[in-house]
Amino acid sequence: MLNRTRLAMTEQILSTETVGLPESAIDVLVFEVGEEFFGIEASVVRMITEFSAFDENIIIEPHIGSIKLSDTKIPLLNIAEFLQLPSTDRDGKLSAVIVSLEDGEFFSIIVARILKTISAEYFYKLPIEAMRYPDIYKSAFEFKGKFHLLLDLKGVLSRLIEHVKLQGEL
């Protein structure tokens, strides 16, 4: 799935068609999941925490688990499994990015490591016909001379819940 997406995305990006120029740059948190780099808008990030896969406050499931912080359980999305990428685990250490959407709903995603927050000025349209789940990606952005996918967290959450329901696990 990802290779087909990468090929089609490269063809589209070569046309340098941008989604639009924002009035100001948008901060993007760049992270690694399953040996691939992704980004999310930094404005939705509430906290980043590192944990071990053996931590008793963490339940890692194939798609949706939970992380317990200050007596509150927050859904923990395993997007590496969902996107069929290699394990995100790096020597038993993982990170969770806790985010909050406009409706105040909190959830977290498992990442292998946080790379950095960048100020992205240009975003590139994606060829939706080449993607299995086009609604989980907002656009592409450039980081270290390569193009990476900017995730739409509402789309990711909706698709993961839909996937788990179809599997009969929710």
Cα 1 vs. chain centroid, distance in angstroms? 16
Average pLDDT over residues 91-100: 87
Spatial distance between the Cα atoms of 57 and 43, rounded to a whole number of angstroms:
26
Is 7 or 120 the better-scoring residue by pLDDT? Answer: 120
Average pLDDT over residues 117-131: 85
Spatial distance between the Cα atoms of 123 and 27, rounded to a whole number of angstroms:
12
Per-residue pLDDT at 28: 97
Q: Please, which pLDDT band fits residue 23 given cuts at 50, 70 and 90?
A: low
Average pLDDT over residues 2-29: 56
Give buried/exposed letters for 103-112 (b at 16+ CB in 10 A, else e).
eeeebbbbbb
Question: What are the residue ranges spanned by the domains of the chain?
Answer: 2-166
Spatial distance between the Cα atoms of 76 and 108, rounded to a whole number of angstroms:
5
Per-residue pLDDT at 144: 92
The CATH code of domain 2-166 reads: 2.40.50.180
Q: Please, which pLDDT band fits residue 125 given cuts at 50, 70 and 90?
A: confident
Cα 100 vs. chain centroid, distance in angstroms? 13
Strand order in the sheet with 93-100: 45-52, 93-100, 106-111, 72-77, 64-69, 58-59
Per-residue pLDDT at 17: 57
* pTM score of the predicted model: 0.81
Instruction: Check pLDDT > 70 for residue 25.
Output: yes
Q: pLDDT tens-digit profile of 78-95?
A: 888 888 888 766 677 888
Per-residue pLDDT at 35: 86
Average pLDDT over residues 69-80: 89
Q: pLDDT tens-digit profile of 135-152?
A: 899 999 999 999 999 999
Per-residue pLDDT at 18: 57
Per-residue pLDDT at 164: 87
